Structure 1
Amino acid sequence: METKPPLSPFTEESARQKVRLAEDAWNSRDPERVSLVYTEDTQWRNRAEFPVGRNQVREFLRRKWARELDYRLIKELWAFSGNRLAVRFAYEWRDDSERWFRSYGNENWEFNAQGLMMRRLASINDLPIDQKDRKFFWPLGRRPDDHPGLSELGL
């Protein structure tokens, strides 16, 4: 059976590592790669969508990244206990009309014994921003280690 370390129960160090691995995967904008960290029967709540299972997650992510262009994400651990993590995040993106947004949110994650995410519950708000107010400027892909996180950016 596949595993995705680090595994629960989480320590602060392993919880932070799990969050960074998730951020890195999402910044790849690769629906196949991202979907592989979820159980086959994963359950999501993302805005008004409720994907169930890896196939629906992949389709959701394909639609998301076709709509949210130049996507750059930062995640930060909020709390952890046993096999659950609470995460806050912000990401910047533009639409096909060149309007920029910063989306803020919170996620609750629950993992199985193999380290795969069984449940992802997300609450997200979108804020239109001017291009001059952007804060996430690294090249598309993984956020560099020396780039500030959410707390350092005052977000």
Structure 2
Amino acid sequence: MTESRPPFPPFDRDGAWAKVQAAEDAWNSRDPHRVALAYTADSVWRNRDEFIRGRTAIVEFLTAKWERELDYVLRKSLWAYDDRRIAVRFQYEWHDREGQWFRSYGNELWEFDDHGLMRRREASINDVEITESGRRFFGPRPATERGPEHDFPLH
């Protein structure tokens, strides 16, 4: 039986938005195994300066990430899409073990197989120190803030 993760390519606007929201929801779970299931078994990633291949490596990477990046909360926004690719911009907030808060800004390029699994992910990310009072995100996105009309500020 072939694994699948709808919606499937070719993407339309609604399908692309659904993929973005599903990814945001999975990453906000901070469950590396759940997140890894959205990727092909041999998925290839570039995340900042790291190169990762396969679900086992994805789980290892995310486990270490969420041990470092505490109270992680993410927002993703659709930037563009075509038949089997989606471009996303995102922001997430987290703090380190010393209590310093950060907002990380980034862009991702995604490519999907015919079964809706992501086979390639490239992410460029920059971190900015913020104060705790400067935080904008306090948990997963509420249902009332989902969809294309609810974007986030650039800075």
Equivalent residue, structure 2, for 1:6: 7
Equivalent residue, structure 2, for 1:80: 81
Between the two proteins, the alignment pairs up a number of residues equal to 152
Secondary structure of 2:50's partner? Answer: coil
Q: Give the aligned residue type for 1:94.
A: H
Secondary structure of 1:107's partner? Answer: strand
Equivalent residue, structure 2, for 1:100: 101
**Cα shift at 1:137:** 1.6
Q: Give the aligned residue type for 1:117.
A: M
**Cα shift at 1:153:** 3.7
Give yes or no for contact 2:17–2:78 (8 Å, CA) kept in 1.
yes
**Cα shift at 1:132:** 1.0
Secondary structure of 1:5's partner? Answer: coil
Give yes or no for contact 2:77–2:151 (8 Å, CA) kept in 1.
no
Equivalent residue, structure 2, for 1:154: 153
Q: Give the aligned residue type for 1:154.
A: P
Equivalent residue, structure 2, for 1:54: 55
Q: Residues 42-67 of structure 1: CA distance to partner in whole angstroms, max 9, x if unpaired?
A: 00000111010000000000000000
Q: Does 1:116 align with 2:120?
A: no
When normalised by structure 2's length, the TM-score is 0.94
4+ residue runs over 2 A deviation = 146-153
When normalised by structure 1's length, the TM-score is 0.94
Equivalent residue, structure 2, for 1:145: 143
When residues 78 and 152 of structure 1 are mapped into structure 2, their CA distance, relative to the original with a 3 A threshold, is closer
Q: Give the aligned residue type for 1:2.
A: E
RMSD: 1.5
- In structure 2, list runs of 5 or more residues that go unmatched: none
Q: Residues 118-153 of structure 1: CA distance to partner in whole angstroms, max 9, x if unpaired?
A: 000000000000111100023xxx321224789644
Equivalent residue, structure 2, for 1:24: 25
Q: Give the aligned residue type for 2:99.
A: E
Alpha-carbon distance in 2 for matches of 1:109, 1:43: 10
When residues 92 and 53 of structure 1 are mapped into structure 2, their CA distance, relative to the original with a 3 A threshold, is same
- In structure 1, list runs of 5 or more residues that go unmatched: none
Alpha-carbon distance in 2 for matches of 1:51, 1:36: 15
Identity %: 56
Give yes or no for contact 2:85–2:112 (8 Å, CA) kept in 1.
yes
